[in-house]
Structure 1
Amino acid sequence: MATGIPQRRVLRTDIPGPRSAELHARKIAAVASGVGTTLPAYVVRAGGGIVVDVDDNHLIDFGSGIAVTSVGNSAPRVVDAVRAQVEDFTHTCFMITPYESYVAVAERLNDLTPGDHEKRTALFISGAEAVENAVKIARHHTGRSAVVAFDHAYHGRTNLTMALTAKNMPYKHRFGPFAGEIHRVPMAYPYRWPSGSATCADQAFEAFTTAVRVQVGSDNVAAVIVEPIQGEGGFIVPAPGFLHRVAEWCRDEGILLIADEIQTGFCRTGDWFASTHERIVPDLITTAKGIAGGLPLAAVTGRAEIMDSVHTGGLGGTYGGNPIACAAALAAIDTMHAEDLCGKARRIEAIMRPRLDTLVERYDQLGEARGRGAMLAVEFAEPTPALAGAVSAACHRAGLITLTAGTFGNVLRFLPPLVIGEDLLTEGLDILDAAFQEVL
């Protein structure tokens, strides 16, 4: 990883500093108030594990723009590829006059995603758009309309994806009515399962199959959509074996399985895709976030016979598979291979997980540490957001970017860039430790 930014934390002002405060006042006056800001430290540069703000504070990044800059901000291969593409052309619309990079990204995704079956890919702009199109494809192929989603799910902010998303505030509140034929079933959430983690997988699977058969009707279901690790819901890792049983049952019932790997994909969990950990091969897989080093790109990849069942012209969009984003994606994937970012994600887990487990042992207020690779979290036992928010705010003041999550807002989630240096990772964990001492 080459970056011109010194990989060390530097605090020259309070966080946020005075210039950030000035910009934030402009933001309040110009930007719709519905667009929130977690940490109003306005950024001018970023690279590796460091984000630099307008007051020249160098902050340690444990957020990666919500799992987007996995290869690091302004990764050299991505910068070079984007610069070259901008000089050639910025847009033609692939549906009008196509270009090779779109095809090359599709080829890479067909090769990288789980399963050795023949696949096809379509490119889009955002994760929500990919999910919308996966549902369209599933409904078209099966001739069925119902879609089943899980408790604690997050799939996006469009009308259909809000219907799939479980959490009301802030994502759904007063934005309805939502798209119909969406049905929700329990997630195998070991920490919060009423009878305990030992019975979670069996009971959750029984609840899932009963709900689909009795309340919806298996013959009416086009697809079951699931995040192999739930993201916004709190980095919930399903009980062992649950998703594999769901996948087998769906196959037996003629129901398509859509894996939403928008946050988990591209080395984040220590493998290219989190579905691999769960021993599932989805019929359709949605990707975005880490795919293109920070540029907007998303995809649906699936079995060829399913993807090709849609009539010509039924899929697409003006900006889907923009050539600049495609160039960035090819460079980002090259970086993941060249720098073994799956291995680096596993190394991040090896460093972070023992420290998080120690925090859980030390503080009664914490209930569980969990996650895989560089997608890790701690959950507070009390289902309220106050303590998680207070600890995160203390981290921000000390120059560490952290995020909260969870249906109850009581989870601290950690998504460092996969290229972060181990010294920065350790310093960030020291700051987190101090934040817990300050708040608890």
Structure 2
Amino acid sequence: MIRRAALLAIAAALGLQPAFLGLQPALADGLTAKARRELAARGITDADYDSAATARLFGTSNGSSSLPPGQVASRIKDIAQLQSARDNQLVGYGLVIGLAGTGDSLRNSPFTEQSIRAMLQNLGIATEGGQARAKNVAAVIITANMPPFVQSGARIDIDVSSMGDATSLQGGTLIMTPLKAADGEIYAVGQGAVIVSGFLAQGQAEQLTQGVPTAGRVPNGAIVERAVGASFGEQSQFTLQLRNPDFSTATRIADAINDYTSNRFGMRTAAERDARTVQIRKPKNISAARFYAEIENLVVGADAPARVVVDERTGTIVIGNEVKISRVAISHGTLTVRITEAPRIVQPEPFSRGVTAVEPSTAIEATQPNARVAVLDGPNLQTLVSGLNRLGVKPDGIIAILQGIKSAGALQADLVLQ
């Protein structure tokens, strides 16, 4: 078998991380040619290579799926993020010009006229007297997310949304607009042509709208003028935040990092704090960026609680893979009531001096399809879905059934209603 000391000596001689010796997850059949030559020079033959031992030594995976059901092999970077690596939201108020008569009506949007006058005055143009009647200007709100570690001079995307009664921003241009953060300071300035995915076509008697023509986007439309203070390179400790809190996943992340750093640096550096956070200490002989780049690619088994998410407004139902049900009998039927009004015209008898009258006639019909009873008993999602399909239940009926199963205590999962 390959000894740990020999492998670490090879890594030190080549100036590479152990993973670059050919001990990649995809190389389940052995080492690379360069690594074999280094092993041969040290008297270690290919027959001595043991991929399983190497995987245990360096905390890597050989590509085989040995995770329990319900777990997914994921990189740490895909299921967690640095607490300090957060976006910052920006917002601003501005004007979009150049619209083809689809801008704000200044009578209904007085703030647009005020903004036009203020902009012209800032440009040194007198606007006293008279009333503006422009229809090619729209007041808009600009929003943006400034990514972490962005520096002055970088460009970010911005979203533009109409604030008045403009019907479309198609063909418009956003003029220079400062973007502020929650502290009231200006961090970016936005300007550029607005790209709108929807459109509006109208005539005198009809109009056709597709998408949302009153909102658009300016790719790379804002220039960062001020960077958010960050000292990532000087940090000696990191805090990882799980995107989906789970105690099991947090523990696996800490164990994977400790296995790696114990072999790489001879020390344990991670500890789980709760279901969401993992605390990590940086070794002294490596930069913060390089250290995090190494640990963020470690693969762990991500777990998640069984959950059923129901959106009653759209009828969308999302059922997790680990949803289980106990034995339960379900009967589902729908009562349909149809009311039909068929008034009859009644003529008076001859020479009776009567008048023609309308006699109401109402027909009420109630039907109920044969309700079927199904017994659902199974450990997984497939049984639940197959049983509901066997009943021929529509999405709105499935929502009611899921609520009933949960109330009966037979649904072994969280039911989230939106």
| TM-score range relative to shorter protein | under 0.3
Between 1 and 2, higher relative CO (CA 8 Å, sep ≥ 6) is seen in 1
Normalised by the size of structure 2, how large is the TM-score?
0.19
**Larger Rg computed on CA atoms:** 2
1 or 2, which has the higher helix percentage? 1
